[in-house]
Chain A
Amino acid sequence: MADTKRIKQSIYFWIFRAMSMMVVFILVAILYFIVSRGIGVINWDFLTKSPEEGMVKGGIFPAIVGTLVLIAGSLIFAFPVGVFSAIYLNEYMKKGKVKSFLQLMTNNLAGVPSVVFGLFGMALFVNKLKFGDSIIAGSLTLGLLVLPVIIRTTEEALKAVDDNYRLASYAMGASKLYTIKKVILPIALPDIITGLILSIGRVSGETAPILFTVAAYFLPKLPHSIFDQVMALPYHLYVLATSGTNIEKARPVAFGTALVLVMIVLFTNIIANVVRAYYNKKYKK
């Protein structure tokens, strides 16, 4: 009896192991596919030159710059607003209907499909506010998209701060705002920064929101003002994969672009993990 139970268990466990390994295998295979085909394309010229000859030659420099500009633009807006919002929600608001409504809305915003952000950005920033297709319209749209991510990670970070710190600070006569600024934020900072880094990955890869708000098909010049359009890596990959007069010839460039995108995500993930691990060791033990 006990034996059949054991056998049954080990059969199930082997099935579980096999399926999990398959999942990991699929994921690793996708990464390998992109990396192995893209790595040969990437060199200094690829990263620093403009596309040439119908985008099958040259590099992707304008798209890289465009994506960096959009990352900066969206986070300049979303980071402070997100952190402020999380501080207010976590430190000032009492439990109740208003608070749970605000949290519900934040979660809803997180669930809005990216193409709907694109529609909204086009209706509000491009058409209503007359920004046109521009860096500012695209950045604001992307900023709204990552806002819930930043709020959530910041909230988690603030919650993780031990209440004793707050009590100790109040006991010494510090005001609430002072306590937040000088005591709580410094402790929560590593986790907040981790959230910020992860949202860089998110912003860099989104295509649908920038399609109608900022992305340019071909724009070899770098932007001069926030009212210019820019090229961006994800849209550039989409263009390389589906249009252009010679898709076959554009394939290597497409793989290279895909790899650069994956690298951005990979690096931001690694950096985020390192930051987290480093500070966890330093403070929390």
Chain B
Amino acid sequence: MIKKILNNFQVGVLAVSSFITSIVVLLIIIFLFKEGSGVFSKSLLEDGYVLVVNSRNTVNSIAPKDIKNIFDQKIISWKELGGADSAIQLFSIDDISEYYSEEQIGSDLEYMDTCINNYIVNHPSVLAYFPKKNIAKKFNGKEIKVGTMGLYEFVKGREWLPTARPVVQMGILPLILGTLMVSLGAILLALPFGLVTAIYMAEIAHPVWRRIMKPVIELLAGIPSVVFGFFGLIVIVPMVQKVCHIDVGETALAGSIVLGIMALPTIISIAEDAIRNVPNNMREASLALGATQWQTIRSVVIPYAKSGIWAGIILGVGRAVGETMAVLMVTGNASNMPTTFLQPVRTIPATIAAELGETSAGGLHYSALFALGCVLFLMTMVLNVYVQVALKKKSK
């Protein structure tokens, strides 16, 4: 009896274990999306602050992008926002001492609130930016509402200024494009070499050579990405700068080269497995018909192994898309819209790794980085599921 319970208990432990990966995947999804969705519900205005105009100002709301341009002094008149034809006067709380004496503000800042209020009342074209707690009890200004961000603006926005004040700019399009560009470049570089090497190892090379090459490539697969990044920083970046005669070596190209080298082992080992799984009688039949070994490889072996080779390529892309440390160290991380490979780019994983440490947990920036994690997760998930479905079809 006891033995049976014990037995069932042990099998139960095994069964529970087998569900853990699924649970973890679900938990990852839940946590990423829960934290990430905060980006759409939190105000783009810095927490605890307000934007205020004079109560007679006809402007009621300003788009986040325009607010940034006002503070960058690219928009200078209310006219451009549909208001009166007068220059915008910016006021932030640090400026208060320029307008009011210490006595007026009070030694314990007790009259600060009134001073701010007075300033706003006296300046019809003011745009003031100060902490919410400094709103006076009898307040005569008009608060400008800054809304939240929608999914469309998040994905299509072209500016990534997550710490801009008073209003952040969180457009991830340059980051998405940067990620895709670096990964695509990596695969274009790695693909010919990876496939050729796989074919060579599986079909052409002497078994002794194969036995030497295989462990070298396996070893390469195990080398940490930070070591590749270090190598890229010291060797590839200066090399790219010299060879391409460009101003700066930290470019998408440098990232693609480093990632290409890192993707090689994945592509080679999966493609090689696929080629070696081609039944021998296919080869023999082709050779018996008088085809050369090359013709056999080209018209029999490769077509047969195609789906396996595809799997290798896609998994290589997946590895490149998610790669963090190596990219962070060599691509320069400028968040502009990428146009050429000879330009610095910023990828999603590098952004997360570089910025998460400095954010305050639960804030808008923190949520935005989790939302980036969601995007990254979805990108790799799609690739993964695609590969598995493709392989399954093949095995049937």
Which A residues lie at the B interface, using CB under 8 A?
5-6, 8-9, 12-13, 15-17, 19-20, 22-24, 26-28, 30-31, 33-34, 80-82, 84-89, 92-93, 100-102, 104-109, 111-116, 118-120, 122-124, 127-128, 144, 147-148, 151, 175, 177, 198, 201-202, 204-208, 211-212, 234-235, 237-238, 241-242, 254, 258, 261-262, 265-266, 268-269, 273
Contact = CB atoms under 8 A, between A and B. Distances in A.
Given A15-B196, A23-B194, A88-B17, 4 more contacts: A119-B32, A119-B356, A119-B369, A123-B31
Interface in B362-382: 369-370, 373, 376-377, 380-381
B7 interface: yes
9 contacts: A85-B20, A92-B15, A111-B315, A112-B28, A118-B356, A120-B31, A212-B356, A265-B219, A273-B215
Contact of A207 (B192, B194, B224): B224
B204 interface: yes
B325 A23 contact: no
Interface of B is mostly: helix
B215 to A, nearest CB: 6
Given A30-B261, A211-B357, A212-B356, A88 B14 contact: yes
B331 interface: no
Given A84-B17, A207-B225, A265-B224, A24 B324 contact: no
Contacts of B213: 20, 24
Nearest to A81: B17
A128 B35 CA distance: 11
Interface in B311-328: 315, 318, 321-325
A258 B370 contact: no
A242 B383 CA distance: 32
Contacts of A175: 7
Interface string B295-312: 100000000000000000
A191 B197 CA distance: 27
Contact of A111 (B14, B17, B201, B383): B383
Contacts of B392: 100
B7 A5 contact: no
Contacts of A177: 7, 10-11
Interface in B7-32: 7, 10-11, 13-15, 17-22, 24-25, 27-28, 31-32
Contacts of B200: 16-17, 19-20
Given A24-B216, A261-B227, A116 B18 contact: no
Contacts of A212: 356-357
Contact of A84 (B18, B27, B388): B18
B387 to A, nearest CB: 8
Contacts of B168: none
A81 B16 CA distance: 9
Interface stretch (B40-48, B57-65, B114-122, B230-238): B230-238
Interface residues of B, number: 81
B293 interface: yes
A234 B224 contact: yes
Contacts of B324: 113-115, 207-208
Contact of B197 (A19, A119, A202, A266): A19
A189 B352 CA distance: 39
B27 A269 contact: no
A113 B380 contact: yes
B21 A151 contact: yes
Contacts of B289: none
B193 interface: yes
Contacts of B27: 120, 124
Contacts of B218: 269
B325 A207 contact: yes
B199 interface: yes
Interface in B335-374: 349, 352-353, 356-357, 361, 369-370, 373
B87 interface: no
A211 B24 CA distance: 20
Contacts of A28: 216
A258 B31 contact: no
B96 to A, nearest CB: 37
B233 A241 contact: yes
Given A16-B200, A102-B21, A118-B353, A30 B231 contact: yes
Interface in B191-250: 192-194, 196-197, 199-201, 204-205, 213, 215-220, 222-231, 233, 235
A272 to B, nearest CB: 9
A86 to B, nearest CB: 8
A271 B369 CA distance: 40
Given A85-B17, A208-B349, A237-B230, A33 B373 contact: no
Given A33-B235, A104-B385, A109-B24, A26 B216 contact: no
The interface centre, meaning the residue of B226, B231, B377 with most chain A CB atoms within 10 A of its CB, is: B226
B226 A116 contact: no
A205 B223 contact: yes
B349 A242 contact: no
